[in-house]
Amino acid sequence: AGEWILTVTAQTPTNIAVIKYWGKRDESLILPVNDSISVTLDPEHLCTTTTVAVSPSFEQDRMWLNGEEISLSGGRFQSCLREIRARATDVENKEKGIKISKKDWEKLHLHIASFNNFPTAAGLASSAAGLACLVFALGKLMNVKEDHSQLSAIARQGSGSACRSLYGGFVKWIMGKEENGSDSLAVQLADEKHWDELVIIIAVVSSRQKETSSTSGMRESVETSLLLQHRAKEVVPKRILKMEEAIQNRDFASFAGLTCADSNQFHAVCLDTCPPIFYMNDTSHRIISCVEKWNRSEEAPQIAYTFDAGPNAVLIARNRKAASLLLQRLLYYFPPSADTNMNSYVLGDKSILK
């Protein structure tokens, strides 16, 4: 077979939902009960770098995360690998004298090495960036012709929120109607330059891994929460339209109002689940109270907050000025220490310290 190796490296940032995805209508295909909208962070911060390699000398598919080998046997990895392999096309590398035909990809094995530039255990969404990066890198290696939206539908089967990391800027995951999930994919609403004065600061309240995984949390909410049914049918469709408008018009007051309300409703659904799920803790609640108070002391809101399946706060400031005031206030009221239960702050976007 000859001793050659072909590699591709890709980098993908994580994304933070401002209209949340919570609940699946199909668990194996990962089809959501509502549309969601997110903002993709700057690639400098919170991103995954993945190198995929193929060689005839590899005897099986293997993967390493931050230097440690992890199992690829899970259904989600397997779905992504299967879907990408099914779309592989001929690859020719003249420099190395390598020719791989469409059929060869069925027999060739892959080695995958993935690194997060942030602590994986910090409770910050890492699966979104990870699965999006894996699918993107494999697509490049195997010369897959599908566009970003079609690739997003594959990444979705690895981790729902991953489908939104295939694009920068503001992204909508359309829930779709088809039973096979072919129209449940991500589209870009606005690129990263559209609203670049926004600054994102992440308050790492706890670095512990969450107690209830999003998969089991969603399952329990779908089975037991009436609020989830109401949210998916009556609330989110209207919010999605308003959020798209706020993003197009760079209307921060509306953007912040919708973002905070949606985060709060998602956590209300968690509380409405039987047994109830608590993702936020006292420090998270104190941050919400402070931001609400700071926003009311200004003419217009300056900060939006949103929390995923954990206690860490994602704070989105209207501009650099609002972000530096916010950081000063946070460091004063929530200095990183055991007392305040605050770990650290991460600038998710466009360093304001520059």
| Residues forming the site for ligand PMV (CB under 6 A) | 17, 20-22, 36, 125, 127, 159-161, 214-215, 308-309
- Compute the least distance from the CB of residue 132 to ligand PMV, in Å: 11
- Compute the least distance from the CB of residue 212 to ligand PMV, in Å: 11
| Residue 17 or 291 with smaller CB distance to ligand PMV | 17
Question: Are residues 111 and 62 in contact, defined by beta-carbon separation less than 8 angstroms?
Answer: yes
| Residue 220 or 308 with smaller CB distance to ligand PMV | 308
| Residue 217 or 301 with smaller CB distance to ligand PMV | 217
Q: Which two tokens stand for residue 129?
A: 């960036």
| CA-closest candidate to residue 137, choices 158, 106, 161 | 158
Interatomic CA distance for residues 241 and 86, integer angstroms: 35
- Compute the least distance from the CB of residue 204 to ligand PMV, in Å: 16
| Residue 25 or 329 with smaller CB distance to ligand PMV | 25
- Compute the least distance from the CB of residue 236 to ligand PMV, in Å: 11
Interatomic CA distance for residues 190 and 32, integer angstroms: 22
Interatomic CA distance for residues 67 and 180, integer angstroms: 35
| Angle, alpha carbons 138-24-238 (nearest 5°) | 105
Q: Quickly count: other Cβ atoms within 10 Å of residue 237's Cβ.
A: 12
| Angle, alpha carbons 309-347-125 (nearest 5°) | 25
Interatomic CA distance for residues 254 and 231, integer angstroms: 19
- Compute the least distance from the CB of residue 327 to ligand PMV, in Å: 24
| Residue 20 or 148 with smaller CB distance to ligand PMV | 20
| CA-closest candidate to residue 21, choices 334, 345, 308, 261 | 308
| Residue 192 or 308 with smaller CB distance to ligand PMV | 308
- Compute the least distance from the CB of residue 354 to ligand PMV, in Å: 28
